Amino acid sequence: MKTAIIRISPYLRGTGCLYHQIEVGFDWVYLRVQSLSIHCSVKSEHSVAAKTGGCFPGDAQVILEGGATKEIRDLQLGDRVLASATADGHGPLLYSPVVSFLDRQPNVTKIFYIIGTDAGLNITLTAAHLIFVTDCTGGQSELGWEETVEEPLLGSKPGGKPSWEAGPRTVFASEVRPGQCVLAPQEKGGSQTTFSVVTFVKEQRSTGLYAPLTQHGSIVVNGVLASCYAAVDNHHLAHWVLAPLRFFYSLIGPSEPQTDGLHWYPWLLQKLGQMLLDAGHFHPWGIEQGHR
């Protein structure tokens, strides 16, 4: 049996623009008509490959303090990885300790979204994982800085100031579209970020699910800044409700190796969230079906 899941968001309302866009994938349709944006995906109700929390594949790479890189499958508690200093993604980058894994399933195969950019960066993450984006129109530029260029970039404002419709926010990976921008370090291991334009989004099956939790709630993976959180559509809410867990691990420091599976704390929060929050706040494929 197939189920159609439709998400409607009137974010173009009030623009006065007549705008149509249709994108079609093998199991989804994305439609923009005037003030409505509709994403319709048809999946099997019990699709093991689609229903998952938010994770990265095992071969995804992070940047360690000192500039070395490490695959996520090899991360250890206490490793310091590149992340954002602020919860909204506006701040500079720093090295934040990995305090736990919200999920870790080395032998599970799932569907991942690959988000590629004009800078050659490719980040791979599950559909329900949150990632920082902005509706930039001026291409790649340094976050929070103005540039002086001889000729304006396509879509930029006169005077060399890059233009974007809004500051960084988090969206589900499955909602990212070409033409939006993601955040990336200006240089490897550097503290400044730049905007990198998304050029494609595609799906791929990969093995291994890893969701490291840093003290600051974000992490740079394959050169792109992403949230540590998933399933719920609000990064700030997730960061707030996971504060006790981060505080606990910051006090006791790295402990014995964590067992595989979904951590009991986010599992409990998912159950509470389903009782207290409207279903529209959750990604339709982001809720685990049981405690493993």
> Is the domain of 152 the same as that of 206?
yes
- Domain membership flag for residue 289: no
Mean pLDDT of 96-120: 94
105-116 pLDDT per residue, tens: 999 999 999 999
pLDDT for 19 equals 40
> Is the domain of 57 the same as that of 30?
no
pLDDT for 291 equals 34
**In this model, does residue 96 exceed pLDDT 80?**
yes
> Is the domain of 38 the same as that of 79?
no
Mean pLDDT of 250-265: 75
**Nearest-CA neighbor of 102 among 280, 291, 281, 229?**
229
* 139-155: burial string, b at 16+ Cβ within 10 Å, e else: bbbebeeeeeeeebbee
pLDDT for 253 equals 72
pLDDT for 53 equals 57
Which of 116-130, 136-150, 181-195 is predicted with the least confidence, judged by mean pLDDT? 136-150
Distance between CA atoms of residues 185 and 187, nearest Å: 5
- Domain membership flag for residue 157: yes
**Which domain covers residue 7, as residue numbers?**
1-44
> Is the domain of 170 the same as that of 216?
yes
Whole-number mean pLDDT of the chain? 74
> Is the domain of 96 the same as that of 217?
yes
> Is the domain of 122 the same as that of 156?
yes
45-66 pLDDT per residue, tens: 333 344 455 799 999 999 999 9
If one counts the domains in the chain, the total is 2
| 173 contacts: CB under 8 Å, gap ≥ 6 | 54, 113, 115, 125, 126, 127, 128, 129, 130, 131
pLDDT band at 180 (very low <50, low <70, confident <90, very high): very high
> Is the domain of 139 the same as that of 215?
yes
Mean pLDDT of 248-252: 83
Q: Pick the most confident of 139-148, 153-162, 226-235, 275-284.
A: 226-235
List, in sequence order, the alpha helices (H) in the chain.
Answer: 235-241, 243-252, 264-276
Mean pLDDT of 226-230: 93
pLDDT band at 26 (very low <50, low <70, confident <90, very high): very low
> Is the domain of 74 the same as that of 103?
yes
> Is the domain of 169 the same as that of 188?
yes
For the chain, give the percent of residues with pLDDT over 70: 63
- Domain membership flag for residue 105: yes
**In this model, does residue 184 exceed pLDDT 60?**
yes
Mean pLDDT of 80-91: 90
Mean pLDDT of 199-204: 96
